[in-house]
Amino acid sequence: MENPYLPREAVIEEVIEESPTIKTFVIRPKERLEFKAGQFIALTVPGLGESPFTPSSSPYREEEIIDVTIMRAGRNTSALHNMKPGAEVGIRGPFGTPYPLGDFEGKEVYVVGGGVGFAPLRSLLFAFLHDFKRYKRIYLRYGSRSPVDRIYKGLLQEWEGDSRIDLVQTVDVGDETWSGNVGVVTTILKKEDIQDYQNSVVISCGPPVMIRFATRSLLEMGFTPENIYLSMERNMSCGIGKCGHCRLGNYYVCKDGPVFRYDKIKDIPDLFE
């Protein structure tokens, strides 16, 4: 039986600067890694430690590489940001419960992301586009602090011209380069976007404060708790529900999540803390 605590060897092939604080690492595991949208991995810096990240690449990519988008936030992520192509890392996983794509078929799918929370959603959107005809309509509402803080700028520009995705972006603070909406992400969540709330779902991922206020707005729009899916990544360590660091009510985020339906967790105290 494979040891779930033992990292598998991998090599960084490319480092892409997305913003002043966020980079995407193109990583080639020495053994093929298959994952589903919404699952996460534990990425190891040899001799230092590991951190959990959700792959941001397509689960259907044929080439045996994965993308992991990382914001510099602490010791481990700072060490990763200082790594160059050719550096060796370790990977455990994948872990967690993926997005239930089968439950979304035939529905309007409303995707709401903020900041680096767009990374897991990128993988999900690639999965949607892989089987686009299975879904009634796909929306993407994405917010960031400023134009320079947006990630995947080239992909966003490409999707602006893609009829398969209804895309609206916003920034908290604009500049002379920005002609789009200025305001937090809730300012671009419009009730009239959705035609049939009984046959629609929404998926949200971003900083906890964003998810809190976005969820409130989504309920006001007409989404029911049963049709709201939240990515609740927090303190995921062992990946298999043994250490207890990621306890969320009666759930373990690393095993039962990180994707949760809102009606299952809405009564948990301090949910967004």
How far apart are alpha carbons 244 and 231 in whole angstroms?
18
- Are 78 and 123 in the same domain? no
Domain count for the chain = 2
- Are 107 and 182 in the same domain? yes
- Are 142 and 227 in the same domain? yes
Looking at per-residue confidence, does 4 or 258 come out higher?
Answer: 258
Residues 58, 127 contacting (CB under 8 angstroms):
yes
Does residue 203 carry a pLDDT above 90? yes
Residues 136, 107 contacting (CB under 8 angstroms):
yes
* pLDDT 10s digits, 35-57: 999 999 999 999 999 999 999 99
- Are 216 and 124 in the same domain? yes
- Are 205 and 108 in the same domain? yes
CA–CA distance from 103 to each of 106, 126, 226 (Å)? 9, 17, 11
* pLDDT 10s digits, 206-252: 999 999 999 999 999 999 999 999 999 877 889 988 898 999 999 99
Residue 1 lies in a domain: no
DSSP string, 195-263: S-GGGEEEEEES-HHHHHHHHHHHHHHT--GGGEEEE------SSSS-S-TTEETTEEHHHH-BEEEHH
Which pLDDT value is given to residue 234? 73
Q: 27: domain range? A: 8-95
- Are 123 and 56 in the same domain? no
- Are 50 and 146 in the same domain? no
Which pLDDT value is given to residue 230? 97
Residue 245 lies in a domain: no
Residue 261 lies in a domain: no
Least confident interval from 169-173, 192-196, 209-213, 232-236: 232-236
How far apart are alpha carbons 241 and 251 in whole angstroms?
9
- Are 91 and 117 in the same domain? no
- Are 133 and 71 in the same domain? no
Residue 52 lies in a domain: yes
CATH number at residue 85: 2.40.30.10
Contacts for 268 with CB less than 8 Å, ≥ 6 apart: 248, 249
- Are 136 and 71 in the same domain? no
CATH number at residue 221: 3.40.50.80
| Residues linked to residue 229 through DSSP beta bridges, in sequence order | 203, 261
Residue 198 lies in a domain: yes
Given 49, 66, 95, which residue is the final one in a domain? 95
- Are 57 and 144 in the same domain? no
How far apart are alpha carbons 15 and 231 in whole angstroms?
25
- Are 85 and 123 in the same domain? no
Taking the CA atoms of the chain, what radius of gyration do you get in angstroms? 18
